[in-house]
Chains A and B, each alone.
Chain A
């Protein structure tokens, strides 16, 4: 039987097996096609399951890729294509069936890898996609599949009212940095006169607190007396989605040309999430809380429940609470706003890159989050047992970066970044320059970061992938080895060719891509070595883009209102 067991643990899935890992045997690949007329079960060999029969119709499986970008961001999943034998015209008839009338398009296909000696339930779902097209040839049928796990990424984040006015989303402390020149950070859209007064839109959710600033017609700024307005929580209806939003209703109509801005302590509600209790009436500042809220809105919007790795996400939330390696440890703080139409893909990209987080799909199909680091126990892969002969390659970084310019503390009023904070890898700068340090810099836009310590840690983690010795490691494994590997997971490579004195001995790499060749029962792995970076001290390496700004406390201004 296949290499399905390892060190007393099931190698595929989590089956409670005590069998030794063997090197001969059979792994089966099973597919289920969910047509309206019923589920068609197919494989490349006849497989009898107690509840269903898998017909041996698959002529070609093709390959499937799962990937995340090397630098923090969103997942990428390739399309898939499978070829079915149809000499008996079964699928021809199904595709044009009139009783019931049906189409195969947009119907789901699930592909699983199972060990024939283990219960099917212990198998691994390696792909779930919908049929986006098919080609019918000489008694065969090619199904083109597209992954649907992430189909919601291209939905628009709710905010645009029927009137075309965009209601903001505000998370964390969105307060203008200057303590002496308060102008308000968030410009508010004017909705107009309502029964409640002269209405401005604040957010599509409830907020913790708000201070209103007014730019008068004579050019002066003032903090508006709260007696002039009320903060109204009311339904916001956007494309059929009903959310509890927040409005600012002035008792008196504001003059034409007056600009209203706000400093806001933002979103203050989070739903129950796995074992995490709901939160209400407290300003949220955790990146994970923002992502949980985003997912909650997404599920409302698309009308289905996402399969979320709640335990893993909560564990990461706890880690980020003490996420910045200072003494004492400081939390990762998330502060930012959305003020114009944006897709969920772009929104998440902004959030994830602000904290060097990755969103990815686990082998069990659930959506999870991770951040680079050496706290994830690596999965050991050796040249002796795992890495296939002739497949190992190491590639130097395309462009090593030894300085990251963190653009942070977005000023939404004037569309600029308030702070540029640097992360320097001085060792690499010295190594790269022949006679003097050579700086190669890249910008990092941190849309949801206003806290310098958060930026320091996030930048250092990102820089760990950009050093002179952050090699890309590419190699192939058997299907069994690869099927259980998680994206963003760490592997420890042991191989003599490794670019280190004596070769690699448990060299830590992070997996960025897994391309499974189902016809060849193998998979190509792409991983990058992550080198831990020393944190730069924020107070020594930062400066203000606007030197006139005065900063206090956590280097954010306190609202004195």
Chain B
């Protein structure tokens, strides 16, 4: 019985519908949307964050110790912080040009709930709603229809003083196929245990990092896609969306390099082509600790 070969990259053309606001500039920057809409179950990622190259970031209020610059320093644990809570909080990003994007994310926040409206336009204080991002603990993301805009405004209503680690606006890339064995996840923790003569133990938790280890089995024809992904992300932190049909997302670093194991032809396919197994080891960036004054 022949086995069906899964497509390397989803086929179906066109750029899809793009929300294009009247623009004062014509450039859409270096980012481009994937050539095809992607099926569900595929993992996605955002590496190039438009916020990092934005002209300005402004906010309703800004803590001196935790300025808006922290929203783009690639350190999730070092957040931006408002100085007040309430219903009129905003962060507005001037991307500097009409840029195209289809993904927004807020990582490393400490809100216990929120009402969030994301607006975009090519003029300051945009009014066109592009998303009402649902709350998710610590890290949250939302897919957008492809949008071209220079100004993006996040309007929060939060009962607690809000901190945000990183703000991400970008174009979502996808790997050519879903993870084969699902996503292994868990938490690596390190600590020191001291034991007294009486057998009482005293434990120091030093740190705990969430890890993700999705496994992929892919043919030789897709090898380059995975290698490109590996090379592109390197050791930079990036937004990893294990399944673009779900709400989970993580701000992670990937273990260096790519080292897939060849799989004997015929075991998993019918065309005798070389296949690979690769388990990607990713470690989520820590949220750090909080101490009161």
**What's the Cα separation between A486 and B282 when bound, in Å?**
45
Q: From B194, B203, B291, give the contact of A116 (CB < 8 A).
A: B291
CB contact under 8 A between A384 and B205, given known A47-B291, A48-B77, A120-B292? no
Residues 1-52 of A contacting B (Cβ, < 8 Å): 2-3, 23-28, 44-52
CB contact under 8 A between A120 and B204, given known A45-B286, A382-B198? no
Q: Closest chain B residue to A386 by CB distance?
A: B196
**What's the Cα separation between A121 and B200 when bound, in Å?**
29
**What's the Cα separation between A28 and B198 when bound, in Å?**
26
Q: Closest chain A residue to B293 by CB distance?
A: A50
On whether the beta carbons of A384 and B196 are closer than 8 Å, the reply is yes
Q: Closest chain B residue to A24 by CB distance?
A: B203
**What's the Cα separation between A56 and B78 when bound, in Å?**
10
On whether the beta carbons of A23 and B291 are closer than 8 Å, the reply is no
On whether the beta carbons of A49 and B204 are closer than 8 Å, the reply is no
Contacts of A49 in B (CB 8 A): 65, 290-293
- B110 to chain A minimum Cβ distance, whole angstroms, is 9
Contacts of A385 in B (CB 8 A): 196, 198, 200
A111 at the interface (CB under 8 A from B): no
On whether the beta carbons of B196 and A26 are closer than 8 Å, the reply is no
- B210 to chain A minimum Cβ distance, whole angstroms, is 15
On whether the beta carbons of B195 and A388 are closer than 8 Å, the reply is yes
Contacts of B204 in A (CB 8 A): 2, 25-27, 478-479, 521
Contacts of B206 in A (CB 8 A): 26, 44-45
Q: Which of A50, A382, A386 has the most CB of B within 10 A?
A: A50
On whether the beta carbons of B202 and A478 are closer than 8 Å, the reply is yes
**What's the Cα separation between A388 and B194 when bound, in Å?**
7
- A141 to chain B minimum Cβ distance, whole angstroms, is 19
Proximity string of chain A (272-312) to chain B, C-beta cutoff 8 Å, 1 when within and 0 when not = 00000000000000000000000000000000000000000
- B26 to chain A minimum Cβ distance, whole angstroms, is 35
Contacts of B291 in A (CB 8 A): 28, 47-49, 114, 116, 119-120
**What's the Cα separation between A506 and B70 when bound, in Å?**
53
B263 at the interface (CB under 8 A from A): no
Contacts of B201 in A (CB 8 A): 23
Residues 89-125 of B contacting A (Cβ, < 8 Å): none
Contacts of B170 in A (CB 8 A): none
**What's the Cα separation between A49 and B78 when bound, in Å?**
10
Residues 30-88 of A contacting B (Cβ, < 8 Å): 44-53, 55-56
A520 at the interface (CB under 8 A from B): yes
- B227 to chain A minimum Cβ distance, whole angstroms, is 25
Contacts of B65 in A (CB 8 A): 49-53
CB contact under 8 A between A119 and B197, given known A46-B77, A56-B77, A520-B192? no
Contacts of A348 in B (CB 8 A): none
- B242 to chain A minimum Cβ distance, whole angstroms, is 24
**What's the Cα separation between A496 and B198 when bound, in Å?**
11
A392 at the interface (CB under 8 A from B): yes
B49 at the interface (CB under 8 A from A): no
Contacts of B214 in A (CB 8 A): none
Q: Closest chain B residue to A26 by CB distance?
A: B205
Contacts of B288 in A (CB 8 A): 45-48, 56
Contacts of B79 in A (CB 8 A): 48
B289 at the interface (CB under 8 A from A): yes
**What's the Cα separation between A346 and B289 when bound, in Å?**
46
Contacts of A520 in B (CB 8 A): 192
Q: Closest chain A residue to B203 by CB distance?
A: A24
Contacts of B202 in A (CB 8 A): 2-3, 23, 478, 480
Contacts of B192 in A (CB 8 A): 520-522
Contacts of B181 in A (CB 8 A): none
On whether the beta carbons of A389 and B75 are closer than 8 Å, the reply is no
Interface size on B, residues (CB 8 A): 31
CB contact under 8 A between A383 and B207, given known A45-B286, A116-B289? no
CB contact under 8 A between A120 and B293, given known A46-B286, A385-B198, A389-B195? yes
**What's the Cα separation between A47 and B205 when bound, in Å?**
14
**What's the Cα separation between A24 and B198 when bound, in Å?**
17
Residues 452-500 of A contacting B (Cβ, < 8 Å): 476, 478-480, 495-496
- A14 to chain B minimum Cβ distance, whole angstroms, is 16
Contacts of B66 in A (CB 8 A): 48, 53
**What's the Cα separation between A47 and B70 when bound, in Å?**
14
Q: From B70, B194, B289, give the contact of A478 (CB < 8 A).
A: B194
Contacts of A521 in B (CB 8 A): 192, 194, 204
**What's the Cα separation between A480 and B192 when bound, in Å?**
13
Q: Closest chain A residue to B201 by CB distance?
A: A23
Contacts of A27 in B (CB 8 A): 204
B174 at the interface (CB under 8 A from A): no
- B273 to chain A minimum Cβ distance, whole angstroms, is 41
Q: Which of B163, B197, B198 has the most CB of A within 10 A?
A: B197
Q: Closest chain A residue to B77 by CB distance?
A: A46
Residues 228-286 of B contacting A (Cβ, < 8 Å): 286
On whether the beta carbons of B293 and A119 are closer than 8 Å, the reply is yes
**What's the Cα separation between A478 and B193 when bound, in Å?**
10
Q: Closest chain B residue to A28 by CB distance?
A: B289
- A505 to chain B minimum Cβ distance, whole angstroms, is 15
CB contact under 8 A between A495 and B197, given known A46-B286, A48-B291? yes
Contacts of B290 in A (CB 8 A): 47-49, 116
A387 at the interface (CB under 8 A from B): yes
Proximity string of chain A (212-255) to chain B, C-beta cutoff 8 Å, 1 when within and 0 when not = 00000000000000000000000000000000000000000000
On whether the beta carbons of A23 and B196 are closer than 8 Å, the reply is no
8 closest A-B pairs (Cβ-Cβ)?
A46-B288, A384-B198, A46-B77, A383-B197, A48-B290, A119-B292, A24-B203, A521-B204
Residues of A within 8 A of B (CB): 2-3, 23-28, 44-53, 55-56, 114, 116, 118-121, 382-389, 392, 476, 478-480, 495-496, 520-522
22 A/B residue pairs, CB under 8 Å, sorted by A: A2-B202, A23-B202, A25-B204, A45-B286, A45-B288, A47-B290, A48-B77, A48-B79, A49-B290, A49-B293, A51-B65, A52-B65, A53-B65, A56-B77, A116-B291, A383-B198, A384-B198, A388-B194, A388-B197, A389-B199, A478-B194, A522-B192
Residues of B within 8 A of A (CB): 65-66, 70, 75, 77-79, 163, 192, 194-207, 286-293
- Since A45-B207, A478-B202 are in contact, a sample of 18 more A-B pairs with Cβ atoms closer than 8 Å, ordered by chain A residue number, is A27-B204, A45-B206, A46-B75, A46-B288, A47-B288, A47-B289, A48-B288, A48-B290, A49-B65, A49-B290, A51-B65, A53-B66, A56-B288, A118-B292, A119-B291, A120-B292, A388-B197, A389-B195
